[in-house]
Amino acid sequence: MHREAILLTPGPLTTTLRTKTAMLRDWGSWDSEFMAVTAGVRKSLLDIVRGHESHVVVPLQGSGTFSVEAAVATVVPRDGHILVLDNGAYCKRAAKLSTMMGRRTTLAPTDEAQAVSPAQLHALLEKDPSITHVVLIHCETGAGVLNPLAQVAQVCEQHSKGLIVDAMSSFAALEIDARSTRFDALIAASGKCLEGVPGMGFVFLRKAILDSCIGNNASLAMDLYDQYVYMEKTGQWRFTPPTHVLVALAEAIAQFEEEGGQAARLKRYQANCQTLIDGMAALGFKPFLEPAIQAPIIVTFHAPGDARYEFKKFYEAAKQHGFILYPGKLTQIETFRVGCIGAIGPVEMQQAVHAVSLTLQEMGIASGKPA
Ligand SMILES: *Cc1c(COP(=O)(O)O)cnc(C)c1O
């Protein structure tokens, strides 16, 4: 019997039927009902970071990367200097887009099996006063590392530097409190831990820096300041909004609030992550990260050492058993990843482990033990 596979990928991810059903209606972008949905979503997003006093939130059409690029180009002046704390693939992407936006960009490399270091940041800012902004990836989805946001924000504040946070895969699951953690811009998207469908991002901008954003962005479509001003004035989006994505997000946020908000979501993802790691360990699999820096969002596992292992076959066989896995994103060693986020709980994670066990049997692999 056909059943839709469960996505163990960190966006797009598995959504509830309720969220999917919300998309079965067409909306006029100028209509007051749709404008009310936009306003409601913006209010809820600010609630989540307790940012009503200090920040505004600006939604933007497109995947999450569009919003990262828009945030960099809107917030950083053209003669600014960006330092990217780099411990993985999404950090490198942020650095690449910063360079392509014409901003001077410096990478501060850290091993991808480690969290970035606030002490190293402090030293780098002391050494190079020309740095104006720091870019931090909160949860580096490449390996799954949790980076120390609060401490990095503190160092940036001490040095009076701007901070841009890519919180794409952490927002709504890990705690972020704008009252105690100062950031100039923080970016997330519809299709991650809020469990909406992909298609729009949103950026929290610190009110105190809004005026300094005027004229920074050389793009019309990607200018968050312009989008903000227009939205405040008219209640509408500039240019065609992703109507179905937004109403699905509103429905997903309603379920997020019913579940108990960020704390409840974190608890479920932690249970998912622990169930996964324990179950996979029993099959011989070893996680790539130390538990202390493992975010409960996505887990990187070493590939099995068995010569019969091949990711493509492994993926296809697991899919036949109803689960979509994710390739690894590390440069040096062979790994694969399993997401813990989406409208799934520990029962689905147990089933996923069982699917992996059947997959190993079919491939003639005795154990997931790495080489
Ligand atoms: C998902 C994600 C993004 C955005 O990726 P898109 O493919 O553009 O949606 C950016 N940063 C991180 C850390 C992510 O996990």
92 and 192 housed in the same domain: yes
Q: Model confidence at 3, in pLDDT bands (50, 70, 90)?
A: confident
Residues 131 and 212 reside in one and the same domain: yes
| Mean pLDDT (the chain, rounded) | 97
Cβ atoms of 138 and 94 closer than 8 Å: no
Question: Average pLDDT for residues 275-284, to the nearest whole number?
Answer: 98
Structural domain includes residue 208:
yes
How far apart are alpha carbons 215 and 198 in whole angstroms? 29
Residue 1: pLDDT above 50?
Answer: no
Which tens digits make up the pLDDT trace of 44-75? 999 999 999 999 999 999 999 999 999 999 99
What are the tens digits of pLDDT across the range 152-163? 999 999 999 999
368 within a domain of the structure (yes/no): no
Q: 188-230, pLDDT tens digit by residue? A: 999 999 999 999 999 999 999 999 999 999 999 999 999 999 9
Whether 222 and 344 map to the same domain: the answer is: no
Whole-angstrom distance, CA of residue 283 vs CA of residue 355: 11
Task: With respect to residue 54, please indicate whether it lies within any of the assigned structural domains.
Answer: yes
The best mutation among 141, 245, 298 to test binding of ligand 1, ranked by most ligand atoms within 8 Å of the C-beta, falls on 141
Express as a percent the part of the chain with pLDDT over 90. 97
> Are residue 186 and residue 281 in the same domain, yes or no?
no
Q: Is residue 1 part of a domain?
A: no
Query: Is residue 127 domain-resident?
Result: yes
Shortest-distance Cα residue to atom 9 of ligand 1: 64
Indicate whether 93 and 195 sit together in one domain. yes
State how far the Cα of 299 lies from the Cα of 338, in Å rounded to an integer.
Answer: 5
Q: Is the CB of 169 under 6 A from ligand 1?
A: yes
Residue 328 CA to ligand 1 centre (angstroms): 15
Per DSSP, the residues of 226-240 read HHHHHHHHHSS-SS-
Question: What CATH number should be reported for the domain holding residue 251?
Answer: 3.40.640.10
**Lookup: tokens for 158:** 């001490």
Q: What is the pLDDT of residue 203?
A: 99
Q: What CATH code is carried by the domain that includes residue 294?
A: 3.90.1150.10
Query: If you ran DSSP here, which 8-state letter would residue 294 be given?
Result: B
Looking at the fold, whether 270 and 167 belong to one and the same domain comes out as: no
- The 10 Å Cβ neighbour count of residue 308 is 12
Q: Would 156 be classed as within a structural domain?
A: yes
189 C-alpha vs ligand 1 centroid, how far in Å?
8
pLDDT at 331: 75
- Asked, for residue 353, whether it belongs to a domain, the answer is yes
Q: Tell me which of 223, 258, 293 is where a domain ends.
A: 258
Q: Answer yes or no: do 113 and 177 share one domain.
A: yes
My answer on whether 92 and 175 are in the same domain is yes
Domain that holds residue 205: 17-258
Say how many residues make up the chain: 371
Domain count, the chain: 2
Write out pLDDT tens, residues 124-133: 999 999 999 9
Give 168 Cα–ligand 1 centroid separation in angstroms.
6
Q: What pLDDT digit, counting tens, does each position of 102-144 carry?
A: 999 999 999 999 999 999 999 999 999 999 999 999 999 999 9
What pLDDT is stored for residue 205 in this prediction?
98
Q: Kindly state if the Cβ of 11 falls inside 6 Å of ligand 1.
A: yes
236 and 142 within one domain: yes
Global pTM reads 0.97
Cβ of residue 69 lying under 6 Å from some atom of ligand 1: no
Residue 179 has pLDDT above 80, yes or no: yes
Residues 295 and 229 in one domain: no
Q: Decide: 71 and 224 in contact? Cβ < 8 Å.
A: yes
Domain stop point among 206, 241, 258: 258
Q: Is 137 in the pocket of ligand 1 (CB under 6 A)?
A: yes
Instruction: Judge contact between 160 and 181, C-beta under 8 A.
Output: no
**Number of helices and strands (H, E) in the chain?**
11, 14
- From the CA of 191, give the closest atom in ligand 1: 9
369 occurs within a structural domain: no
Which of 198, 225, 258 represents a domain boundary (last residue)? 258
For 285-318, the pLDDT digits (tens) are 999 999 999 999 999 999 999 999 999 999 999 9
Which residue out of 67, 84, 90, 341 has the highest number of ligand 1 atoms within 8 Å of its CB and is therefore the one to mutate? 90
Confidence band (pLDDT; 50, 70, 90) for 2?
low
Strand, coil or helix: 288: coil
pLDDT at 332: 82
Does residue 355 share a domain with residue 309? Answer: yes
Mean pLDDT of 355-371: 97
**Same domain membership, residue 130 and residue 117:** yes
pLDDT digits (tens, 9 = 90+) for 227-240: 999 999 999 999 99
